[in-house]
Amino acid sequence: MLFAVLLTACPSKPKQLLTASENYYDSVALPLKEGVPYCLRIFDNINYYKSSEPALAQSINDVLKIKLFGEDVSKNTETIPQAAQKFHDILYEDYKTNNVQALEEDEDLEFDFIYNYEYETVGYETYLSDTRLSYCIERYVYLGGAHGINTRQFVNFELPSGKLISEQDVFKGEYREPLHNIMLQQIVEQDDDVALVRDIEEKGYFPQNIYPNDNFFFTDSTVVFVFNPYEIGPYAFGDIEIELPFSLISDYLK
């Protein structure tokens, strides 16, 4: 019940416990090899935290470091900038391994665009209250195919403990099927081209996949689930947000 009360309570001005005042920015173009116009472009713009309680900021930054760059990179680095630099090195070595020999054997270069890669990472806070923090990691990855892929991954924290909040921390009981039905109805509410739930599949959505996916963020009055391209619709739909007002899901909140 405590979590439900925190969710539905009137929002208060966030305490100045956390400040996203640290920023890691980098933009580089790393050549495939000398004398060719192809390169790996890496762009980072990542906000992370300071706090009047250093242990809290460190705890949150450590989780973000793993979410941003993976456990293997993070376990041997202390800070987000250090992890980013190590991750860049790995990306660059993989890029050369995958492309140098192929370029040397490619006689006509008909599809030379495949030798240009891009990897962009942006991290920023989307919501902060006395009790919750939502943080978004946006990525754009292009690996020489027909198009790149944009994704958004959300990470949520309980404050002031710094505990990571998962979907199972928010909802109780057998919530997945009821939330599936509410999500379908919310698509009808949000999409002007869909008049009825039965029209969702005809519009191009994948209704069998429209379930809570542990990728969500908070607002003052909603939990918003985010589905990346291909998860519940074709690539052309981009990422899709489904807003669940607390008033509709109160029976399933812990």
Q: Where are the domains of the chain?
A: 13-158, 174-252
- The CATH-assigned architecture of domain 13-158 is 2-Layer Sandwich (3.30)
Contact 28, 92 (CB under 8 A): no
Q: Report pLDDT for 51.
A: 84
Q: Which CATH number fits domain 174-252: 3.40.50.720, 3.30.1360.70, 3.90.640.20, 3.30.70.3000?
A: 3.90.640.20
Task: Please check whether the two domains, 13-158 and 174-252, share a CATH topology.
Answer: no
Q: Is a pLDDT exceeding 90 seen at residue 225?
A: yes
d(CA 15, CA 27) in angstroms, rounded, equals 33
Among the listed residues 122, 120, 131, 121, the one whose alpha carbon sits nearest the alpha carbon of residue 156: 131
pLDDT in tens, 76-127: 899 999 999 999 999 999 999 999 999 999 988 989 999 999 999 999 999 9
The runs of H, that is alpha helices, within the chain are 2-8, 54-69, 71-74, 80-105, 167-170, 176-190, 200-203, 246-249
Neighbours of 133 (CB within 10 A): 24
d(CA 11, CA 3) in angstroms, rounded, equals 14
d(CA 67, CA 138) in angstroms, rounded, equals 11
Q: Identify the band that residue 186 occupies on the pLDDT scale cut at 50, 70 and 90.
A: very high
Contact 92, 40 (CB under 8 A): yes
